[in-house]
Structure 1
Amino acid sequence: MQNSPITLPPPRAYFSSFLHTILQNFQKSEIRKHQSPKLKMTQVKRAVRIANCSGAACDPGFHMYNQAKSGPVDVITGDYLAEVNLANSAEGMAKGTDPGWIPTALDGLQQTLEIANEKRIKIIINGGGLNPKGLAEKTLEMAKEKNLNLKIAYVDGDNLLPRVTSILDKIKTGEYKHLDNANSDVNLAENSDTFMDDPEGMPIVCANAYLGYRAIKQGLDEGADIIICGRVADASPVIGAAAWWHGWDESDYDALAGSLIAGHLIECSTYVTGANFAGAYQYPVEDLLNLGLPIVEIASTGECVVTKHEALNGIVTADTVKCQLLYELQGNIYLNSDVKADISHIKVQNEAKNRVHVSGVKGFPPPATTKLAVFYRAGYQCEFLLNATGYATDHKWDYQEAQLRSKLDEWGVKLDELDFQRVGVPKENPDSQLSSTTYLRIFAQAKEAAAVGKVAAAWMWNGMAHFAGMHASMDMRTVIPKSFLGFYPAIIPQNELEEAINILGSDPKRVIVGPPQKTESLKPRENYTPTNPVSLENFGSTTLRPLGDIALARSGDKGGNVNFGVYVQTPEQWDWLRSFMTHDQMKKLIGKDWKDWYFIERVEMPNIFAVHFVVYGPLGRGVSSSKLLDCLGKGFAEFIRAVHVPIPTKFLPRARI
């Protein structure tokens, strides 16, 4: 069925799984025996086991198979879509080179259909991309070829490109506002809205609304076994599965909010089982190889336990869960088109080895709007790297920058971006040439390809007048202008969407689910100074050390913004952290990267000893067009953890003082 080796559980794990399956089947039979069909889903049931099989398009299909094979699960969900995936697919579909769905999603289904049919595991993935109908039809064809008893469905209503003219008009008039416009203190990056005035030169290529759980749950209620989605929100498959399993109503906001956070915790593949983990240095490298993907067990209350198959490698601890919780947040209110989740008082506690209990999430009615991701052809860009070794590196980079800028000025070349990024610091008294070598990343953007092309020409003009020891890769393909996409996150009323589930097969059916029955307006995002701060002098003597000596953290992208969550381990450390990590302190830590037009929001999560920040602006128009080397904001947290700050000496491990 596949070339990858099958990971088999050890005897003890296999026996546990076997008993779990027997109990599961017994419980289901008892429910069927004592309940009428109408009441079946209203009773309190055991927690539903939902396994994640993907956090990005790069995750191989074998993960889906392994989650089904390695132990008991009820549902497998997968998140294949970063924001730019759909835009890239749109470009490919226009050229006839892209089917619109994610290839690794198809690969996972090919490997998993038979075992999912055997074990009656539901599968819900957003791997349909721009063409969920196409992937669903392909899946139905495979199921028929294998003579499997599977009902296939797909969710649509997210793709609004056919309404692009109306969408553009409503963005221009402000009816569809930018996601960050609600805060008057936030400034949008330069050129964020220039596409509105040039619909032919900067055409919209993709416009997709973020859908919720309602169509997914409807599909499961209709008996669907496999549901292919397009641009549903990352956690929507998990919410839909839990709401179906427990029979939740739209107004069960606490439960829905709990499942929203459960979905957030597992949506990023191995990010909660040891990957992208600030504390990974505390573990042997061998423990982090071939990481298994997570499982979440969601109770009828919405509380959950994050875990994994015992047979698969990886680590699930309170720390891995807290780090993932803090990833790509917009503050202490996590939004979905179905529910608002207030995580101000969330609790994360180790329950047993590789089992972490999450509680304390509070739910509220959703907003009347949802996110609309608009991508447009923004122009052309190029970049290339030059190396410098050893002595007087700063002067070398000054010389290179002056050469390029002066020639472009002489030629009258106008660029939207021309950035010279100095990466690394040469080692003093180096013991190898590589340790003495750093590089300069030259990045340029403009609306016209011809203007961007002049950058390479200006560099070649001075090609032999270079600084001492200049060298570079002979592969200069990145200097050739290539088109790039701009991103505009708008908000759209949910009652303008036609969110629907489509059942395929001999008795096809389409059900439009409609918007949420109850909504409430969004309040301004919370932003406050330390709560009852403690004087830093009370913590005694300090030692200048990296913040990471006592704190773990995670960061990521939110449109043009970077989020950053940092936490410590003890109540006394928490009193220090929340008092120390002010708005002004955050600016100091950002250092030379801080721009005066940026804006910072700050909140606290006292039960997990965390302070969370959103820094508005660093990613410009978003990932697809950001000039930053760290265009996803993933490295920001590790940069901040490396900055030296005065840490109370009593908090530091003796070996590090």
Structure 2
Amino acid sequence: MTKQPVRIANCSGAMSKGTLLSSSKELRLKGDPGDHMYNQAKYGPVDFITGDYLAEINIANDAEAYRNGQHPGWVSTAWDGLSKSLDILNEKRIKVIINGGCLNPRGLAEKTHDLVKGKKLNLRVAYVEGDDLLPRVHELISKQQRLKHLDAENPQVTLAEGTKEFLNNPGSSNIISANAYLGMRAIKRGLEEGADIIICGRVADASPVMAAAAWWHGWPDSAYDELAGSLIAGHLIECSTYVTGANFAGFDKYDIKDLLNLGLPIAEIDSKGECVITKHEALPGIVTEDTVKCQLLYELQGNIYLNSDVKADITHVQVKEQSKNRVHVGGAKGYPPPPTTKLAIFYKGGFQCEATINATGYATAKKYELQEAQLRSKLQEWGLLEQFDVLDFQQIGLPAGNPRCQLESTTSLRIFAQAKDAATVGKLALAWMYNGMAHFAGMHSTLDMRQLRPIPFNAFYPAIVEQSELEESINLIDPSTQEVKKHVVGPPHKTEPLAARDSFETSNPVDLASFGPTINRPLGVIALARSGDKGANVNIGIFVHTDEEWDWLRSFMTRSKMQELMGTDWRDWYFVERVEMPLIKAVHFVVYGPLGRGVSSSRLLDSLGKGFAEFIRAVHVPIPKRFLRLESRI
């Protein structure tokens, strides 16, 4: 008999943190607090709660502090959620799978086990290990052709300068973390062995959801279509509120009050791997075809979504609203996984600093030109200019032509610098101060120039590693004896080599003149989009709503058109891939190169690539007037 769909609620999409200094104390700021886990358990029936706490940089940020005994290694917001929720999880028999173990999944599991035991709850705790390859990374660099870059198989992709420098000195201590993206196999085995709470380190974002669905429905490892569907379900809910109204290009059609205190999503996954994306009705938020399509298109590498357990072809995915806050997603096609998985390596990249100054009103461009010339000429005079790896001057905004207030007339110049040693970077502040009183007319800025102090930064190298090199295991803590029983799951039984990524223009373009007269308007008037980072690259998916708009979009949005819309941001060494997803009327692009050596070291103000889609939507293009019949669109 077919089992009912499994209800999997998400409780986190990232572990963002920062430090705020006040006159009396230091405040540590963290995102996605433990309240979300508790609320997902409280406000309706769910079978599982999953949480993704690890953006690529999170592990590297805390790696050295953890090794030096200055950090617990796990994510504090994950512990916050567990400590608040254990009683209700026990009462409702809800299972939890999270990657909040970060660098120390065992440590968080043992802390959780101790609290479970202290409360005398009937919950068995386990943890996944095998992702941390730092002890073996130098061996792997020597053994596996110096660890191929994730984009190495694409001869048209040019890597940013300096990307492979750390490989030239494999015995150095510059590498600070190396974590492989694990799949669902160890998690699923843990559920089969009776685990109720499974703490993971660096598993792939969707792996907890896939494991929950596979265990619930009893899928074998060869159920590729079903696994592909659950992979897409996991992708849709793993980014916290990104599918319930956050980071949503269509937000402007909603009242602000409807976008406050958004609830997190739920995926109901059936025995075929198809899902319904929804949320608890008691919690705020919106789940529509548009919010789901936006999240579906987020941080893709094209139309093939890779995971350690399955390759999912999402070319023919369908998204259809069932009722209010219930959207059905199906159509993913699954194939055996690749023999490799992603290995995220972070290494010491050098030092960087930045500062922002402001100019008001008249002749802004020349004011900034003067500031740049002052700094460059002084550094050149001191023989330091060539020692900078990056020295960037970025104008932010344009002053209003006839301003109504000073703020309308004010823009900013961001000065960003990187070099291999702190002394070089530190000279930028001296050069700035040397010309401090020779500034342009009306220059102003914050009086706190501490941003100009050199700080170390980490660079990112996305490699691929053979899954056969991993010792992926589930480790169950015995509730009575506290002994740990380890099960090694091994690599997938069947794999397929990776093929070249698809990239194509539309097969039967429509003559753009056939759509009639046009008017220059922002692309975003008729199209929604979402973008994000994929290592050194930026992805963007753009979609429309009607068949006629789709014929126009797929014919208009070519690779060369994307390059044109990027304007002066385009660099000749970038490369663009393009695919189509016709059933959701979407064109998807990957632009290779803009983020340099990744988020943690990018020179861009938008280092995560999240604003790229909104920039492209703001560019004016000739839109057929027939698409602008609604007054609100003109």
**What TM-score do the two structures reach when normalised by structure 1?**
0.92
1:655 deviation in Å?
4.0
Q: Is the 8 A contact 1:365 1:519 kept in 2?
A: yes
Shift of 1:199: 4.8
| Cα deviation 1:552-583 (Å, max 9, x = unaligned) | 00000000000000000001000000000001
1:551 to 522, 527, 549: 527
Q: Secondary structure at the match of 2:566?
A: helix
Counterpart in the other structure of 1:654: 631
Q: 2:544 aligns with which of 541, 545, 568?
A: 568
Residue 49 (structure 1) aligned with residue 7 (structure 2): yes
1:529 equivalent to 2:493? Answer no
Please give the alpha-carbon distance, in whole angstroms, between the structure 2 residues aligned to 1:199 and 1:99: 28
Query: Structure 1 residues 531, 325: closer, same or farther in 2, change over 3 A?
Result: same
Which one of the candidate residues 632, 637, 640 is aligned to 2:608? Answer: 632
Partner of 2:293: 322
Structure 1 equivalent of residue 26 of structure 2: none
Distance 1:447 1:202 in 2: 15
Distance 1:309 1:655 in 2: 32
Of 165, 181, 190 in structure 2, the residue corresponding to residue 210 of structure 1 is 181
Q: Establish whether residue 436 from structure 1 lines up as the match of residue 409 from structure 2.
A: yes
The correspondence of residues 197-346 of structure 1 with structure 2, limited to 5 A, is 197-199=168-170, 203-346=174-317
Counterpart check, 1:427 vs 2:403:
no
**RMSD, aligned CA:** 0.9
Aligned to 2:463: 490
Which residue of structure 2 lines up, in the alignment, with residue 596 of structure 1?
Answer: 572
Q: CA deviation at 1:96?
A: 2.4
State how far apart, in whole Å, the 2-side matches of 1:618 and 1:170 are: 30
Unmatched 5+ stretches in structure 1: 1-42
| 1:291 Cα deviation after fit | 0.2
Change (3 A) 1:488 1:114: same
Q: Answer yes or no: is the 8 Å Cα contact 1:326–1:565 preserved in 2.
A: yes
Structure 1 partner of 2:621: 645
The AA in structure 1 aligned to 2:80 is D
Contact 1:202 1:379 in 2 (8 A): no
- Report the alpha carbon displacement of residue 466 of structure 1 after superposing the two structures with TM: 0.3
Identity of aligned residues (%): 68
Change (3 A) 1:439 1:200: farther
The offset of 1:530, in angstroms, is 1.4
Q: Distance in 1 between matches of 2:95 and 2:613?
A: 36
The aligned residue for residue 27 of structure 2 is: none
Q: Distance in 1 between matches of 2:333 and 2:137?
A: 37
Structure 1 ranges of 4+ moved more than 4 A: 199-202
Instruction: Tell me by how many angstroms 1:104 deviates.
Output: 0.2
Match of 2:116 among 107, 124, 143: 143
**Aligned match for 1:97, one of 60, 65, 70:** 70
Q: Aligned residue pairs: how many?
A: 613
Whether the 8 Å CA contact 2:138–2:171 is kept in 1: the answer is no
Q: Corresponding residue for 1:82?
A: 55
- Whether the aligned pair in 2 keeps the contact of 1:128 and 1:134 (CA below 8 Å) is yes
Query: What residue number does 1:387 align with?
Result: 358
Distance 1:577 1:423 in 2: 30
Tell me the residue number matched to 2:422: 449
Match of residue 328 from structure 2: 357
Check whether the contact 2:341–2:465 (CA below 8 A) recurs between aligned residues. Answer: yes
Whole-Å Cα distance in 1 between the matches of residues 507 and 138 of structure 2? 47
Task: Establish whether residue 460 from structure 1 lines up as the match of residue 460 from structure 2.
Answer: no
Q: Structure 2: how far apart are the matches of 1:289 and 1:331? A: 32
Q: Residue 398 of structure 1 corresponds to which residue in structure 2?
A: 369
Counterpart Cα distance in 1 of 2:173 and 2:158: 22
Match of 2:7, as an amino acid? R
Q: Which residue of 2 aligns with 1:182?
A: 153
SS in 1 for 2:538: strand
Deviations 1:506-543, CA, capped at 9 Å, x for gaps: 25311000000000011100000112000000100000
Matched residue SS, 1:422: strand
Q: Which one is further off, 258-267 or 402-411?
A: 402-411
Measure the CA separation in 2 of the matches of 1:304 and 1:531.
30
- Alpha-carbon contact 2:526-2:633 (below 8 Å) kept: no
Counterparts of 1:177 and 1:200 in 2: how far apart (Å)?
A: 17
2:40 maps to which residue? Answer: 67
- Distance between the aligned counterparts of 1:484 and 1:169, measured in 2? 25
Q: Quick one: distance in 1 between partners of 2:543 and 2:66?
A: 44
Q: Distance in 1 between matches of 2:594 and 2:373?
A: 25
Q: After superposition, what is the alpha-carbon deviation per residue over 1:125-161, rounded to whole angstroms, capped at 9, x for unaligned?
A: 0000000000000000110111101100000000011
Please tell me whether the aligned partners of residues 541 and 589 of structure 2 are also in contact (alpha carbons under 8 angstroms): yes
Distance verdict in 2 for CA 1:460–1:200, change over 3 Å: farther
The structure-2 alpha-carbon separation of the partners of 1:656 and 1:165, relative to structure 1 and needing over 3 Å to count, comes to closer
The letter for the 1-side match of 2:43 is S
Equivalent-residue separation in structure 2 for 1:477 and 1:227 (angstroms): 42
Q: Give yes or no for contact 1:531–1:578 (8 Å, CA) kept in 2.
A: no
Deviation at 1:95, TM superposition (A): 3.4
d(CA) in 1 for partners of 2:484, 2:136? 26
Q: 1:654: Cα distance to partner?
A: 2.8
| SS of structure 2 residue aligned to 1:464 | helix
User: What's the secondary structure of 1:278's corresponding residue?
Assistant: coil
Name the stretch that deviates more: 506-515 or 284-293.
506-515
* Partner in structure 2 of residue 9 of structure 1: none
TM-score (norm 2): 0.96
Q: Which runs of 5+ in 2 are unaligned?
A: 16-30
In structure 2, C-alpha distance between the alignment counterparts of 1:202 and 1:573, rounded to whole Å: 54
CA contact (8 A) 1:337 1:366 kept: yes
Per-residue deviation, 1:475: 1.5
